[in-house]
Amino acid sequence: MVVVFVTSSDIEASVVMALLDSHGIKAIRASGNTQGIWPMAVSALGEIKVGVADALFHQYPTYDEGQKSKIKAAVVSTTSLARHAEILRLGEHLILGRGEEKTGGRFKQALLADAYEALIAAIYLDGGLEAAEAFLRRELKDALDEGSAQTFARDYKSALQEQLQALGHPLPDYRVSGETGPDHRKTFSVEVVVGGEVLGAATGRAKKEAEQEAAREALARLASIPDSAPPKSQPLPTPNIQLLPTPKDSTSDE
């Protein structure tokens, strides 16, 4: 996805070409009643990562590099960027071919994430790095907060597996029990099955999300069943010892 400038004015098109050229960016200009300009190499992902890394440095000064890298990966992921594109309704402004239009391209996460990158690239070209960073800090602040919570949230699937192993039960099996909605907005229903019994069920926009929620439900169910708790060690019973009288020495009676 790239920034595409469309105008019917020759003057505006010339100004945009000159602006791109001043930044060392080559572009293709299509002539006609409506002119389009396609920069050959404009990607804002690098600017996004730099801006997020700087924000993480100030927001989480006590986190190590590994922790901050995990949050950054969550914030700049396709899912995260697509969600922000949906908030801005960027899908309504995409220029799509007939094929993408028919298959719901305006709602596809990959295209929405690319559009969000293109928007940041446009802000960078128009206002420079400071304007792009200001936009990132404002728009991605909630994502930075959520990224921290999601990255270090409890792994219910691992916790369930450990609990089942401690109880001597078989490992859990996660099954997709249903799918609803169009391809670009599916909701998955997942069941977690242990020994042929469904211990938990949940739905989510992604299979992993539904599996985690189903595992959380299974853990709650296990906790409510008294017999499911690991057996506590019992003290050894006190042996019942009876003291027998000492036999008399037969030589003492003679």
Tell me the per-residue pLDDT of 11-35, one tens digit each, with 9 for 90 and over: 666 777 777 666 666 666 666 656 6
* HEC letters along the chain: CCCCEEECCHHHHHHHHHHHHHCCCCEEEECCCCEEEEECCCCCHHHHHHHHHHHHHHHCCCCCHHHHHHHHHHHCCHHHHHHHHHHCCHHHHCCCCHHHHHCCHHHCHHHHHHHHHHHHHHHHHHHHHHHHHHHHHHHCHHHHHHHHHHHCCCCHHHHHHHHHHHHCCCCCEEEEEEEECCHHHCEEEEEEEECCEEEEEEEECCHHHHHHHHHHHHHHHHHHCHHHCCCCCCCCCCCCCCCCCCCCCHHHHC
pLDDT at 254: 46
Please check the confidence at residue 2 and state whether its pLDDT lies above 70. no
In terms of residue numbers, what domain contains 133? 43-151
User: Looking at the domain assignment, is residue 35 inside a domain?
Assistant: no
pLDDT > 70 fraction of the chain, expressed in percent and rounded: 67
**Are 124 and 65 found together in one domain?**
yes
**Are 142 and 51 found together in one domain?**
yes
| pTM score | 0.48
User: By the 8 A CB rule, do 204 and 188 touch?
Assistant: yes
Please check the confidence at residue 47 and state whether its pLDDT lies above 80. no
CATH of the domain at 51: 1.10.1520.10
Write the burial class of residue 49 (CB in 10 Å: 0-12 exposed, 13-18 middle, 19+ buried).
middle
- Report d(CA 134, CA 221) in Å as an integer: 47
Please check the confidence at residue 216 and state whether its pLDDT lies above 60. yes
Determine the average pLDDT of the residues in 121-138.
81
Q: pLDDT band at 1, cuts 50/70/90?
A: very low
Task: Look at residues 151, 172, 196 and tell me which one is the last residue of a structural domain.
Answer: 151
**Are 57 and 145 found together in one domain?**
yes
Q: Mean pLDDT lowest for which of 140-144, 157-161, 235-239?
A: 235-239
User: Looking at the domain assignment, is residue 244 inside a domain?
Assistant: no
- pLDDT mean across residues, the chain: 75
User: Looking at the domain assignment, is residue 200 inside a domain?
Assistant: yes
User: Looking at the domain assignment, is residue 220 inside a domain?
Assistant: yes
User: Looking at the domain assignment, is residue 121 inside a domain?
Assistant: yes
**Are 58 and 132 found together in one domain?**
yes
One-letter amino acid for residue 179 of the chain: E
User: Looking at the domain assignment, is residue 102 inside a domain?
Assistant: yes
Number of domains in the chain: 2
Question: Count of alpha carbons within 13 Å of 197, Cβ hemisphere only?
Answer: 7
pLDDT at 185: 74
Determine the average pLDDT of the residues in 165-174.
91
Q: Mean pLDDT lowest for which of 24-28, 98-102, 147-151?
A: 147-151
- Helix crossing, 207-224 with 156-167: angle to 10°? 40
